[in-house]
């Protein structure tokens, strides 16, 4: 138990600024990740130990209260025995009372000692949780800062590359730009042609479907059957052939 509390105290005494400085020097958050792992492991162990000690505290308190109540009852019984002149029974009861009072006192002292230990553990738990939350938050801030630094470095290299590109000469840059624009124009033209063809096909299909739907609605309204519609269609075809 003492070794666990010592580990907790070591974690609590860690300097957040020092951890951040170490991470910046190493350009890595690994040192903070290691602290977080250790803190999480010890916090879990502390919670288990605190639960055990808390249970012991409850047991000792219950034992103390049981013996204290028994001693209080014996004390009243001794008075009653003395009033009734039963000295021998009073002596025996007094001896038992002394024993129960001693046991009650022992349980009381153990209870108070474990209670203090339990309070220290709960206090350490709260403080470690707060410290862990702070480290986690600073770790996220530091990670974001490192990513920002990396992004700025990439931007700087890119700008330097653009400066080098400009150094190629105005004519080279212009020709390169024209080639890029020409390729883009060709791709846009192909896309436009493909889109137009598809749109026309869609419009044609939709137009035919709409006409057929309109005629079908008329046939149903006129009471024409499918056979009559087919006959009408055949007759229309014959008339068209005769006309030719």
Q: What is the dihedral of CA 159, 163, 164, 169, to 10 degrees?
A: 150
- Give tens-digit pLDDT for 85-130: 999 999 999 999 999 999 999 999 999 999 999 999 999 999 999 9
- List, in sequence order, the alpha helices (H) in the chain: 2-12, 16-26, 30-83, 87-166, 170-222, 226-243
Report pLDDT for 93. 93
Work out the average pLDDT over 175-194. Answer: 56
238 to 17, 20, 62, 208, 228: CA distances (angstroms): 98, 94, 111, 22, 15
3-state secondary structure of 224: coil
Give the separation between CA 162 and CA 175, rounded to whole angstroms: 16
| Residue 199 reports pLDDT greater than 70 | no
- The pair of structure tokens assigned to 198 is 């598809």
Mean pLDDT of the chain: 77
Work out the average pLDDT over 17-33. Answer: 84
Report pLDDT for 165. 47
Report pLDDT for 220. 82
| Residue 156 reports pLDDT greater than 80 | no
| Residue 57 reports pLDDT greater than 70 | yes
- Of 57 and 179, the one with more pLDDT: 57
């Amino acid at each position: 138990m003492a070794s666990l509390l010592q580990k907790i105290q070591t974690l609590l005494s860690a300097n957040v600024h020092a951890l951040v400085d170490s991470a910046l020097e190493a350009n890595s958050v690994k040192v903070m990740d290691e602290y977080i792992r250790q803190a999480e492991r010890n916090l879990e162990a502390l919670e288990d130990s605190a639960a055990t000690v808390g249970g012991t505290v409850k047991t000792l308190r219950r034992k103390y209260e049981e013996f204290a109540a028994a001693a209080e009852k014996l004390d009243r019984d001794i008075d009653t025995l003395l009033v009734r002149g039963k000295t021998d029974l009073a002596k025996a009861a007094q001896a038992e009372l002394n024993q129960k009072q001693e046991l009650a006192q022992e349980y009381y002292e153990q209870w108070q000692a474990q209670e203090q230990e339990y309070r220290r553990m709960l206090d350490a738990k709260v403080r470690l949780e707060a410290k862990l939350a702070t480290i986690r938050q600073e770790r996220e801030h530091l990670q974001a800062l490192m990513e920002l630094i990396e992004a700025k470095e990439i931007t700087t290299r890119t700008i330097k590359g653009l400066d080098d590109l400009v150094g190629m000469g105005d004519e080279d840059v212009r020709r390169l730009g024209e080639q890029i624009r020409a390729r883009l124009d060709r791709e846009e033209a192909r896309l436009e042609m493909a889109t137009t063809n598809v749109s026309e096909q869609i419009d044609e299909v939709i137009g035919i479907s709409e006409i057929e739907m309109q005629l079908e609605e008329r046939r149903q309204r006129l009471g024409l059957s499918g056979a009559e519609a087919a006959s009408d269609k055949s007759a229309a075809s014959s008339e068209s052939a005769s006309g030719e």
